[in-house]
């Protein structure tokens, strides 16, 4: 501890603006650790296939039912800074890998819990941080050694990776395999392979969800689905051999500026003005027709008169398409986005076997299908209720992230707590070699990783201590794939039941958990500015939902 922080619960002497508050030294650490533990505790029960769901109710009464760590933490509106740091861990994990958010947060909470014990034994935070950092680095090295290779061609294994990710989303039940296959197909389709690297941009996998039907009706469209109808009923409902123009300008005549007003003094003049406008719109449409396009996606508006001419020309047109959808359409059909009809030429057009307006659950959507080797695709998720569709979307998102993580790093490990136990056992050996006080911190790190098998065991109604003892002894014998066999309430070989996870999900979870724990441990002074409305508070998380400590 530094400077003033050395005095326990000492009254601050520093003059701070009125209303601000300050907590220093061990008290600051205690509060931060307590908050972080509370946040981790709030999501811990959701871990794994037997994990529970949370029902979140927001200010206006909207309900979200989910098992997704990142979503839960996001909706909880945690305000305490230490709590927010754990929310950040979940967010980073979600962005980097798409999965493992609960794991990351739970490990971070556990690291801090064990750090507290070490602090109580008068071990200086600097030593703990050093030990944790050493343990984290070693864990990542070990993870690389223990992991098995995976390739974009290992379709079956990738499907299992996706299924493991979705295992915890109970709502989607039996449809996991169907969804997993769709996801792997989608990922393979958008993958751009060069000589020695594969890039997969998750943005090019569009997820479109429509309530109605059931999850089994979900499908992969090798093209793009736009949640919009054609702009005019006189247009064809379906266009085959579609030649697609993408336009990011409006098909409208610019409204005259206020300072350039026109004086219309006679009916003839008005008529002339209208004719003029019509003529300009007709010319715009003519340019589209000339380019050879029979489908138009316009990012901006399309004037009624232009709609009429487009319909007359047999062009299928959609207006006010989102920018992100325009990009996906370009990627899928090979079209170039033009910023003016004047620039539009034959070479800018994209291709799809068909563009069709279809009714899905009573709502019109536009399907652009049969593109040539499209590098953007759509997963259409169907489901009985909005809650199911929403949770399925989160599951699909996680699984896409997991599949991409597996392919990009090319490495997988076995889940069910197998990898965490393997790392813990090896880290304890490593700790012994290091010795000194750091040894205690490294051992604490090992124990923290075991929160994963421990929680999975608890969720299956098994005795957590017994299970850990059994797991450790298997791993000491070198059986690196033994984890918690949840359905049998026993331990078992995870490679036999295909509980496979991307190594990247684990390395990211371990690294960001360690970083967050270290950052929190480094703090020995919390200075809170006064809040504008209410009295300042530094203890405990605030926000809409209560939490147990």
Which one, 374 or 492, has the nearer CB to ligand ADP? 492
**From 29, 92, 164, 467, residue interacting with ligand ADP (rule: CB under 6 A):** 164
Whole-number Cα distances in Å, 496 to 316, 337, 499: 52, 49, 8
- 273 Cβ partners below 8 Å, 6+ apart? 262, 264
**From 42, 335, 486, 510, residue interacting with ligand ADP (rule: CB under 6 A):** 486
Minimum distance of ligand ADP from residue 304's CB (angstroms)? 50
Catalytic residue among 66, 97, 102, 171: 102
Report if residue 101 touches ligand ADP, rule: CB under 6 A. yes
Report if residue 499 touches ligand ADP, rule: CB under 6 A. yes
Residue 374 binding result from Mg ion, ligand ADP, none, given CB thresholds of 5 to 8 Å by partner type? none
Minimum distance of ligand ADP from residue 402's CB (angstroms)? 9
- 464 Cβ partners below 8 Å, 6+ apart? 454, 455, 457, 458
Residue 464's CB is within 10 A of a number of other CB atoms, namely 18
- 513 Cβ partners below 8 Å, 6+ apart? 89, 104, 105, 107, 108, 111
* DSSP states along 382-442: EESSHHHHHHHHHHHHHHHHHHHHHHHHTEEEETTTHHHHHHHHHHHHHHHHH-HHHHHHH
Q: Which stretch binds Mg ion (CB under 5 A): 77-85, 98-106, 231-239, 336-344?
A: 98-106
Report if residue 53 touches Mg ion, rule: CB under 5 A. no
Residue 101 known to be catalytic: yes
Report if residue 223 touches ligand ADP, rule: CB under 6 A. no
Which one, 326 or 404, has the nearer CB to Mg ion? 404
Beta-strand ranges (E) seen in 12-151 are 21-24, 54-57, 63-66, 148-149
Report if residue 99 touches Mg ion, rule: CB under 5 A. yes
Strands 363-369 and 224-226: antiparallel
The span from the CA of 61 to the CA of 362, in Å, is: 27
Which one, 368 or 399, has the nearer CB to Mg ion? 399
The span from the CA of 318 to the CA of 325, in Å, is: 12
Minimum distance of ligand ADP from residue 145's CB (angstroms)? 19
Secondary structure, 3-state, 435-461: CHHHHHHHHHHHHHHCHHHHHHHHHCC
Minimum distance of Mg ion from residue 165's CB (angstroms)? 5
Which one, 38 or 456, has the nearer CB to ligand ADP? 456
Helix (H) or strand (E) holding 305: helix 304-312
Residue 452 binding result from Mg ion, ligand ADP, none, given CB thresholds of 5 to 8 Å by partner type? ligand ADP
- DSSP, collapsed to helix, strand or coil, labels residue 148 as strand
CA 135: distance to chain centroid?
28
Report if residue 501 touches Mg ion, rule: CB under 5 A. no
Residue number, nearest CB to ligand ADP: 415
**From 83, 98, 100, 350, residue interacting with ligand ADP (rule: CB under 6 A):** 100
| CB 485 within 8 Å of CB 491 | yes
Minimum distance of Mg ion from residue 405's CB (angstroms)? 12
Residue 68 known to be catalytic: yes
For the annotated catalytic residues, the residue numbers are: 68, 101-102, 398
- Contacting residues toward Mg ion, per CB under 5 A: 99
- Contacting residues toward ligand ADP, per CB under 6 A: 46-49, 51, 67, 69, 99-103, 164, 167-168, 415-416, 452, 456, 484, 486, 499, 501
């Amino acid at each position: 501890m530094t400077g003033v922080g050395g005095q326990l619960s000492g009254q601050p002497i520093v003059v701070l603006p009125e209303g601000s508050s300050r907590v220093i030294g061990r008290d600051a650490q205690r509060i931060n650790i307590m908050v972080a533990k509370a946040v981790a505790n709030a999501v811990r029960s959701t871990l794994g296939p037997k994990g529970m769901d949370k029902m979140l109710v927001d200010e206006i009464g909207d309900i979200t039912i989910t098992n997704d760590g990142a979503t839960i933490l996001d909706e909880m509106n945690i305000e305490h800074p230490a709590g927010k740091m754990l929310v950040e861990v979940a967010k980073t994990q979600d962005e980097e890998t798409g999965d493992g958010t609960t794991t990351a947060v739970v490990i971070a909470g556990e690291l801090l819990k064990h750090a507290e014990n070490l602090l109580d034994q008068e071990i200086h935070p600097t030593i703990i941080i050093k030990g944790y950092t050493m343990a984290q680095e070693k864990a990542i090295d070990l993870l690389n050694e223990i992991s098995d290779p995976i390739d974009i061609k290992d379709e079956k294994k990738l499907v299992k990776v996706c299924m493991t990710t979705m295992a915890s989303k109970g709502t989607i039940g039996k449809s996991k395999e169907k969804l997993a296959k769709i996801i792997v197909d989608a990922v393979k389709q958008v993958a751009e392979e060069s000589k020695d690297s594969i890039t997969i941009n998750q943005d090019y996998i569009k997820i479109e969800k429509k309530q109605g039907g059931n999850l089994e009706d979900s499908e992969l469209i090798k093209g793009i689905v736009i949640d919009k109808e054609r702009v005019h009923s006189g247009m064809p409902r379906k266009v085959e051999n579609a030649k697609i123009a993408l336009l990011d300008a409006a098909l409208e005549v610019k409204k005259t500026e206020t300072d350039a007003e026109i004086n219309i003094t006679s009916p003839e003049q008005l008529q002339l003005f209208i004719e003029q406008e019509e003529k300009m719109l007709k010319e715009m449409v003519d340019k589209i027709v000339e380019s050879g396009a029979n489908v138009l996606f316009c990012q901006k508006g399309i004037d009624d008169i232009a709609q009429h001419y487009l319909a007359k020309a047999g062009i299928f047109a959609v207006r006010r398409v989102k920018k992100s959808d325009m990009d996906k359409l370009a990627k899928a059909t090979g079209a170039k986005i033009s910023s003016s009809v004047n620039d539009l030429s034959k070479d800018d057009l994209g291709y799809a076997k068909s563009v069709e307006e279809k009714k899905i659950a009573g709502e019109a959507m536009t399907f652009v299908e049969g593109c040539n080797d499209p590098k953007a695709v759509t997963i259409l998720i169907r489901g009985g209720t909005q809650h199911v569709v929403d949770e399925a979307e989160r599951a699909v998102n996680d699984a896409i992230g997991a599949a991409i993580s597996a392919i990009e790093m090319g490495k997988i490990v076995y889940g069910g707590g197998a990898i965490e136990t393997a790392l813990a056992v090896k880290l304890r050996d490593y700790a012994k070699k290091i010795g000194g006080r750091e040894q205690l911190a490294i051992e604490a790190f090992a124990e923290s990783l075991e929160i994963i098998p421990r929680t999975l065991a608890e969720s299956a109604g098994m005795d957590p201590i017994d299970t850990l003892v059994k797991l450790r002894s298997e791993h000491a014998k070198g059986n690196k794939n033994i984890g918690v066999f949840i359905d049998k309430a026993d331990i078992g070989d995870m490679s036999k039941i295909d509980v496979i996870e991307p190594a990247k999900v684990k390395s990211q979870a371990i690294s960001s958990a360690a970083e967050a724990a270290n950052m929190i441990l480094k703090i020995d002074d919390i200075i809170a500015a006064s809040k504008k409305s209410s009295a300042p508070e530094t203890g405990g998380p605030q926000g809409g939902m209560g939490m147990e400590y």
